[in-house]
Amino acid sequence: MSASMQVEITRIRDLAPGIREFSLSPAGEGSFPVYSGGSHIVLSLPLGARPHRNAYSLLGDPNERHTWRIAVRKQEDSRGGSRWLHEQAREGMKLDIAPPMNLFPLVRTGRRHILVAGGIGVTPILSQARELARIGADFEVHYAYRGPEFGVFSDELEALAPGRVHHYVQSRREQIEFRSLLSGRPLGTHFYICGPAGMVAASMEAGHTLGWPESHLHSEQFLAPAGGEAFDVKLAKSDKQFTVPSELSLLEAIEQQGVDAPYLCRGGACGQCELEVLEASGELLHHDLYLSAAERASGRKIMTCVSRLKGGCLTLNL
Partner 1 sequence: MSIAFKPDETFRGDYSYRNSPVAIRRFPFPFPQDQYMYSVNIEPHTKGPAGSVFENAFDIDEHYVAEMRDRAITLERDPGRCMSLPHMIDAEWDTLELIMESLARDYPDLFQLHRDGARWSWINRPLGLEQTFTFGDVATLPCPPFEYITRQCQGDFVIMDQRDNDLWADSGMITSQADWSLMFDVGMSFKEWHGPVPLAHDMGIFERALKYLLMLQQGRPVRRLNWTMTINPRLDTSPETYPEWGPDRTTVTPDNVGDKVHLRVELQGLFRLPRSNGMLFSIRGYLASLNDLATHPRWAKRLHRVLTTLPNELAEYKGLVRYRQTAIDWLAKFDDGADLGTGTQPE
Residues found near ligand FES in the complex (CB under 6 A): 263-266, 268-273, 288, 290, 303, 305
Contact partner, 23, from ligand FES, partner 1, none, Cβ < 5-8 Å per class: none
Neighbouring CB atoms inside 10 A of 173's CB total 7
Cβ 32 to partner 1, closest distance in Å?
Answer: 10
Cα separation, 184 vs 165, in Å, equals 19
Phi-psi region of 134 (alpha: psi -120 to 50; beta: other; left: phi over 0): alpha
Q: CA 134 from chain center: how many Å?
A: 24
Query: Interacting stretch for partner 1, rule CB under 8 A, among 107-115, 165-173, 197-205, 246-254?
Result: 107-115
Within residues 40-69, the interface with partner 1 by CB under 8 A covers 62-63
Give me the helices (H) in the chain, please. Answer: 81-87, 122-135, 154-160, 178-182, 197-209, 250-256, 293-298
**For residues 209-268, which are near partner 1 according to CB under 8 A?**
215, 223, 264-268
Binding-site member from 135, 159, 201, 224 for partner 1 (CB under 8 A):
135
Provide the H-helix boundaries in 41-121: 81-87
Minimum distance from residue 264 beta carbon to ligand FES (Å): 5
Spatial separation of the C-alpha atoms in residues 161 and 251, rounded to whole Å: 47
- Decide: residue 292, CB within 10 A, 0-12 exposed, 13-18 middle, 19+ buried: exposed
- In whole angstroms, the minimum distance from the beta carbon of 73 to partner 1 comes to 26
Region binding partner 1 by CB under 8 A among candidate stretches 12-20, 29-37, 150-158, 181-189: 29-37
Q: Tell me whether residue 35 or residue 263 sits nearer to ligand FES (CB atom).
A: 263
Region of 44-52, 106-114, 115-123, 144-152 interacting with partner 1 (CB under 8 A)? 106-114
The whole-angstrom separation of Cα 172 and Cα 195 is 19
The interface partner of residue 224, options being partner 1, ligand FES, none and the CB cut-off 5 to 8 Å by kind, is none
d(CA 146, CA 149): 8
- What residues make contact with partner 1 under the rule CB under 8 A? 1-3, 33-36, 38-39, 62-63, 99-102, 105, 107-109, 135, 215, 223, 264-271, 289-290
